[in-house]
Structure 1
Amino acid sequence: MFNWYRDITSQERKTFWGCFGGWALDALDVQMFSLAIPVLIATFGLDKTDAGLVSGVTLVSSALGGWIMGAVSDRIGRVRALQLTIVWFSVFTLLSAFAATFSQLLVLKALQGFGFGGEWAAGAVLMAEAIRPEHRGKVMGTVQSAWAVGWGGAVLLYAVVTILLPPDLAWRVMFGIGVLPAFLIVYVRRNITEPARGLLDRARRAPNQVNPFAIFRPDVLRVTIVGALVGVGAHGGYHALMTWLPTYLKTERHLSVLATSGYLAIVIIAFWCGCIASAWLMDRIGRRPNLALFAACCVVTVLAYVFLDLGNTAMLVLGFPLGFFAAGIPASLGALFNELYPGEMRGAGVGFCYNFGRIVSAGFPILVGHMSRDMSLGTAIGVDAGLAYALVVVAVLALPETRGKMLQQDLSSDTERAPLPAPDIR
């Protein structure tokens, strides 16, 4: 399953580890907020809708950051854009630790989100352009598995810090750790170079050709609309579920902090396994069937997890498929979206499709919090997440299959090169 690693070049490996490390550290910071929601509610006197608002505002700002910085990477290069967004994200995560009021926290988390979204867009395009097409799905899916690594680190830190420190100090320490991604800049500057194809592309491009709105041209408009719908379903389902999962386990399942961490550990391990499985399947069966398969399985497992009257043991067992199938969707999006657009607008296209979903999905955590006033939190999560994942199943069927597509950067041609023949899966 990991034979591809021996087949890629030294520069491809360095780019892989740079992106992997960046996304793991981002996940560490982002998931700390979800874990800290119960403490933040008590500290600032919030209700669930207020807590969902912080998550929602962060998602909107990250969406704008992804689209804008994706377009910026088309102009200044993927590596420089990645460096800028890492610094931005790290600084505002650290500053969030010093928020004295709910309003301050809201603003700082919004600014943090802008950098996070931009970092994903720049890193995803960099990785897609640096890796050869026959391994693109496997490599980008494996990079996405870094989210599980960072998520697991956040859970471990949460368990340790909340034991050693009082709650009103623990969440500040956790947010303060968010400065760690800044140290990744040293690795990026020393080891990662701009893909040669991208350098050629930018050398031939006039400055006025860089336009974030080019993705709405008639020849790519349909792809942009459908891709954005896929992003809405993918992010909406994930954030409706994962933002509120720790609170759900604690308040409705009445699990202790350590027990909640234990349940989350199962989901996180499954998430990593799901990313790796999706990475392998993408290059075997194609982008569309892989994405539809994982989304359909998400609908079934989410509804079972929150609606069935399960005991603790059954919930523990079901937690594995919940995390496994939830992972396959984001693991598929990086490769798919990169392969939908030509080089001169790839950063803008990837940034928009992936992050437009964040703008719309910002309403999902807020809606879950609002709906939980009139129904159980578990029911609210199940309804919102189930509908979101169902949208992915429908939307992905309207996109073309892109497995094996060359990411041609030469603007002398108006079209990408033809896809490679499908690999023999016997």
Structure 2
Amino acid sequence: MFQWYRQITPVEQRTFWACFGGWAMDALDMQMFGLVIPALIASWSVSKTDAGLISGLTLITSALGGWLGGALSDRIGRVKALQIAIIWFAAATFLAAFCQNFEQLLILKAMQGLGFGGEWAAGAVLIAEIIRPEHRGKALGTVQSGWAVGWGAAVLLYAAVFSLVPQDLAWRVMFGIGLIPALLVIYVQRAIPEPTRAAAATSGSKQGFTTSLLGIFSPKTLRVTLIGGLFGFGAHGGYYGLFTWLPTFLKTERGLSVMGTGLYLGVIIVAFGCGCLAAGQLLDRIGRRRTVALFAVGCTAVTVSYLLLPIGGGLMLALGFPLGFCAAGIPASMGALFNELYPAGIRGSGVGFCYNFGRILAAGLPVLIGHMSGSMSLGAAIGIDASIAYSLVVLAVLMLPETRGKALDGAVGSGTFSKD
């Protein structure tokens, strides 16, 4: 499975690990919020709708951050944009530990979203341009598995901190810890040189930031931009609708303890990492469209079974593996697919928009789920919304072209870097 890694150059390998660390850091900090929702509800008497509002606003700002961060990477370079996004993201996470009320946390989570979106966009384009076409799907799929590593770290921290520290202080400790891995990732990112790109790839900087930002809406790329946005909406709507509320569902409706919740989530997280690796292999073997459709259909079926059917704890624990496995395939596929839809000069803007714009529409789903849970069970609300969202992914991918093995115009080649 990892034979491809031994075939790439040292520069490709360092870039891979830098981006892998970035994805893991994102997951660590982002997944913390879903885990501490019950503590916030207890400490500040926050309603489920208000908790969903924080998650929803974070998705909106991450969408804007992804689009702006992608365009910024077209303008000043992938590595520089990546560094700016990481610093911003880490600082906002750390400051959230000192919030005194709901309004302050809402603002800082919004700021966190800006950096989160920008980090993904710049990093995804960086590794797509560095890794050779025959290994692009595998590399980006494996990098996405870094999300499972960070997610798992967040759950372990949750179990440890909430077992040792009083609940009203534990969530602050978790946000404070979120700064530590960022420092290591920033150091690693600085060791990665900026890739040299052909003259065509610098068109975004020559034409100006605004032109690069809006160039994805030109007649040549408007169709893929709109379909890519629909794809992103379905993917993020399903993922965040499901996993923002899953810890609360397990604790409140299934009555699990902190350790019990960690066990159930642990199965899902391990499966998520496996799903990313499997998706990476399939992307380069059977193509982008078939891989996405396969995982989206599977995720819809498993989500319905996991949340809506009257199953016992043992079966629910077992179904956690296919749930996490199928949920991984869609985000693991998006980096390779979106990079291959756009030409040089607006690639960062296009990838950032397609991956992140769906978050603006998807931002309403966590809020909607919180509201719906007032008139039905939380599990039913999550299951209905997530199933609809994943169905949109299937519709969108059927309208996109197959891009497996496509060479990215504007990239000079693997291992070629500027002296800046």
Q: Which TM-score tier does this pair reach, normalised by the shorter chain?
A: over 0.9
Partner of 2:61: 61
Once residues 24 and 411 of structure 2 are traced to their aligned partners in structure 1, the CA distance between those partners, rounded to angstroms, is 33
Partner of 1:421: none
Read off the aligned partner of 2:59 and give its amino acid letter.
L
Once residues 291 and 154 of structure 1 are traced to their aligned partners in structure 2, the CA distance between those partners, rounded to angstroms, is 27
Partner of 1:228: 229
Partner of 2:376: 375
C-alpha displacement of 1:186: 1.5
Read off the aligned partner of 2:353 and give its amino acid letter.
F
Partner of 2:24: 24
Is 1:126–2:126 an aligned residue pair? yes
Once residues 170 and 50 of structure 2 are traced to their aligned partners in structure 1, the CA distance between those partners, rounded to angstroms, is 20
Identity over the aligned pairs, expressed in percent? 63
Tell me the number of residue pairs that the alignment of Structure 1 and Structure 2 aligns: 410
C-alpha displacement of 1:211: 2.1
Contact 2:76 2:205 in 1 (8 A): no
| 1:94-122 deviation per Cα after TM superposition (whole angstroms, max 9, x unaligned) | 00000001000000000011001000000
Alignment of 1:12-411 (within 5 A): 12-180=12-180, 181-190=182-191, 192-197=192-197, 201-202=201-202, 206-208=206-208, 210-409=211-410
Once residues 410 and 64 of structure 1 are traced to their aligned partners in structure 2, the CA distance between those partners, rounded to angstroms, is 26
Change (3 A) 1:22 1:347: same
Read off the aligned partner of 2:410 and give its amino acid letter.
Q
Change (3 A) 1:115 1:143: same
Once residues 189 and 114 of structure 1 are traced to their aligned partners in structure 2, the CA distance between those partners, rounded to angstroms, is 21
Read off the aligned partner of 1:47 and give its amino acid letter.
S
Once residues 95 and 404 of structure 1 are traced to their aligned partners in structure 2, the CA distance between those partners, rounded to angstroms, is 43
C-alpha displacement of 1:130: 0.6
Consecutive unaligned residues of structure 1, counting only runs of 5 or more, are 412-426
TM normalised by structure 2 equals: 0.96
Read off the aligned partner of 1:308 and give its amino acid letter.
L
Paired residue secondary structure (1:314): helix
Contact 2:67 2:118 in 1 (8 A): yes
Read off the aligned partner of 1:380 and give its amino acid letter.
A
| 1:289-324 deviation per Cα after TM superposition (whole angstroms, max 9, x unaligned) | 100110001110000001111111100110000000
TM normalised by structure 1 equals: 0.94
Paired residue secondary structure (1:373): coil
Superposed CA RMSD in Å reads 1.4
Change (3 A) 1:217 1:200: closer
Once residues 27 and 381 of structure 1 are traced to their aligned partners in structure 2, the CA distance between those partners, rounded to angstroms, is 21
Change (3 A) 1:193 1:385: same
Once residues 337 and 411 of structure 2 are traced to their aligned partners in structure 1, the CA distance between those partners, rounded to angstroms, is 20
Once residues 221 and 187 of structure 2 are traced to their aligned partners in structure 1, the CA distance between those partners, rounded to angstroms, is 37
Once residues 207 and 176 of structure 1 are traced to their aligned partners in structure 2, the CA distance between those partners, rounded to angstroms, is 41
C-alpha displacement of 1:203: 8.0
Read off the aligned partner of 1:336 and give its amino acid letter.
L
Once residues 347 and 382 of structure 1 are traced to their aligned partners in structure 2, the CA distance between those partners, rounded to angstroms, is 33
Once residues 205 and 247 of structure 1 are traced to their aligned partners in structure 2, the CA distance between those partners, rounded to angstroms, is 45
Once residues 198 and 383 of structure 2 are traced to their aligned partners in structure 1, the CA distance between those partners, rounded to angstroms, is 43
Once residues 150 and 56 of structure 2 are traced to their aligned partners in structure 1, the CA distance between those partners, rounded to angstroms, is 21
